[in-house]
Chains A and B, each alone.
Chain A
């Protein structure tokens, strides 16, 4: 769940930066305002290592071969898409440690007075992989492209029409992107990426088929090379990438080639990894980190383990109570329910203390997070207090009852791997006099049931975005109707007031204050019981791979991500170590085993 959450988060980020785009406007018709202030960023700390050297091939695995190389249209939303998009730069990026704007395709940017427009100056050196220069027209073309019905991508059609008004081209290297409405954090939305006009030319009805296996020109460090459908795909580093010496790209993207091999089973991937046919393996799951790594290649020190704490937005995993159900209309009952969930025991005895208690649904959003909130802890006395206050009493089977109704609720979930956690919660809740009926459904059936608001309690989490979103989940506009994300059916005038103010405010300080207040209000309403977070990534890698110090960034969710303009490509291949290790394996020599635990970005709990 967590990796999926992170993945979605990355996708969401990309949605903002890469895919946003374009209303075309006749160039030259408008003049650049002269009172704008051009900004750039050449002073934030760099996070790549100057010791990094070029070379080597990184071997990674895919569970299945992508169904297409397109990044829009049918079947394009696979996990491989992030590898393609990871090589597609945007106008601007976000520094993964400071969260400030950093240059990518644009060298300078400026904010318009109308709070709707951003101006950009393109880097004249910027080139497509086929040698064509990147020009302002390519950004205007993004709008044409994304709005076209020919690409069969209704979501993008809609987004690029409703969110982005137009792209104004002043000259080949100067442009403005205009949002349809004034809003805060404009740069998250307007830093769109270009689409190669010279490559697509005129879109035809055969777009989907024609571009299925075409490799589109890109602007990032690697381009796809040789591939065999169903077997493997190579990415090759560009010989003279135009951006290689930019401040925030220097010493990054070091490997010459990245090879993705299709290995359809995770257990087989593990075997490949132990044979050094894959270079990296994810160990975030407790079972892998604790049990499966007790094996020769780790003991002999050929493979190292790293546990890297990050500080990034955490998916809001937890139990979501449906307040349209009679039983949860009473706040006391909701509080009692929260106090009956023994999350601590699950963390200690099932998750091996590897997970952490999530205190609130919005952890990791920097100043936007309200770190004062503490999730309700397992406490039988408090359960009793609230239940009695609500007028319930314990029935003959030890379960609370009132007017002939038992406190028995259905918990809907969809991931088999979560059953061990839920059975422990169930047994503990029984002590508190609450019966949980576990209902495991197929993921899409569970999702549908929850979105139709037919659940009692939903066990799930929402993926993240760069700033907290509240309206979808907690505004009364979305309550009591199917197919909205307000799955608690929160319908609270005070909450509405806060959320409306948050959505309408353009002032960062005010938004931060409101964001914290809203989180406090969510806690007071008590229809969401936060459960776990996994504020780290754990990986195993063969010892010839080297990482900078610290090994990742605040927002890294994969230390060996070869692409991604913000957090990718920090590692490098150490040939000397490679030869040393290979010789040692042959001769049976060993190295001391290495386990790195890096807490640079670990956030200490505010009140433990």
Chain B
């Protein structure tokens, strides 16, 4: 792929902004790690060696306990299996992920009641929540859901917002006027209430939540793109394209949008952090994804209700601060890199 020299320049400039660049590296690392979360945080073993045969349960189907000589038909408890093999000493072994818990299982005990504080011995590195579920596992899987939720929401919002915004700016006139009024009315619908009402009637799934939130989320970017498109349409290159007989569609998507890319890219990271916060707040209020989906909002709610179990609230707030900070740093760096007025001095 050949990048245009302008873009290369921007990328170089982005790289030179250390804080933003490293934030991007960290952020990408987190996303990649979360994609492979099953290998790091999981109750299924990575590898089981049993009677000369090797099993890789992580992505496979359920292996019932009987396969390994246990007396039950439901899924093997690999932590117990590991101990058993260790004691038996017959050369069988189990390799567990670093955090041997999945985000759904309840580690309950007869003599004590959760939440349990962090413990290296139990391998609950950040403790458990009020239902005995491992907080690391909940955080990691919750992060994966939140980040992909935010990215998907971003994609939907921006495709709608950018298309409508540039159409409004490009065509102007009556279309613009009518759409402006529609947006004004639409943006006055109290969005949070609508979500609360909808999700109290039906339990929203991941995709439904995106649809509901996109219903109201496209407005912000539309205004910005509309203004830019207005400006762009008066430029000579648009006139030239039109003179050559290009259709409106082609002009908008081939000429105007690429030229507003800087704006779109600048807004994206902030939209991502907005998406994460939105999902977290909905979950916090109990109107987000249905339990027992791992969710930061739910953890936050638990932490608030159980302040004495400080590890819950500390973990989730720590995780949120790190994530939102990296995303914001990336955003700032992008904005700076894409700012054409490199040496402008504001007075």
Contacts and interface: CB of A to CB of B under 8 A. Distances in A.
A299 B123 CA distance: 35
B118 interface: no
A10 B203 CA distance: 33
B5 interface: no
Nearest to B109: A349
A348 B75 CA distance: 23
Interface of A: 290, 345, 348-350, 352, 380, 384, 394, 396-398, 416, 419-420, 422-424, 426-427, 430-433, 437-442, 445
A427 B105 contact: yes
Contacts of B185: none
Contacts of A423: 104, 106, 131, 133, 291-292
The SS class assigned to the B binding surface is loop
B61 A380 contact: no
Given A380-B74, A438-B292, A349 B203 contact: no
Given A349-B113, A394-B73, A396-B62, 18 more contacts: A349-B106, A349-B132, A380-B72, A380-B74, A394-B64, A398-B74, A422-B291, A423-B133, A424-B131, A430-B74, A430-B75, A432-B74, A433-B73, A433-B74, A437-B290, A439-B203, A440-B203, A442-B201
Interface in B127-147: 130-133
Contact of A445 (B61, B104, B201): B201
Contact of B104 (A397, A427, A441): A427
Contacts of B292: 419, 423, 426, 438
16 contacts: A290-B113, A349-B113, A380-B74, A394-B64, A397-B62, A398-B75, A423-B292, A426-B104, A426-B292, A427-B105, A438-B290, A439-B203, A439-B290, A440-B203, A441-B200, A445-B201
B198 to A, nearest CB: 10
B28 interface: no
Contact of B74 (A350, A352, A431, A439): A431
Given A420-B130, A433-B74, A438-B291, A349 B110 contact: yes
Range for the number of chain B residues in contact with chain A: 20 to 34
B8 interface: no
Contact of A348 (B61, B64, B73, B110): B110
B64 A431 contact: no
A317 to B, nearest CB: 19
Contact of B291 (A345, A440, A445): A440
A175 to B, nearest CB: 49
Contacts of A445: 200-201
B286 interface: yes
Interface string B57-70: 00001101000000
A442 B200 contact: yes
A380 B105 contact: no
B73 A350 contact: no
A589 B286 CA distance: 46
Interface string B180-203: 000000000000000000001101
A352 B64 contact: no
B322 interface: no
B108 interface: yes
Given A438-B290, A438-B292, A427 B200 contact: no
- Which 6 residue pairs are nearest across A and B when measured between Cβ atoms? A442-B200, A431-B74, A349-B108, A398-B62, A396-B61, A420-B131
Interface in B69-101: 72-75
A442 B72 CA distance: 38
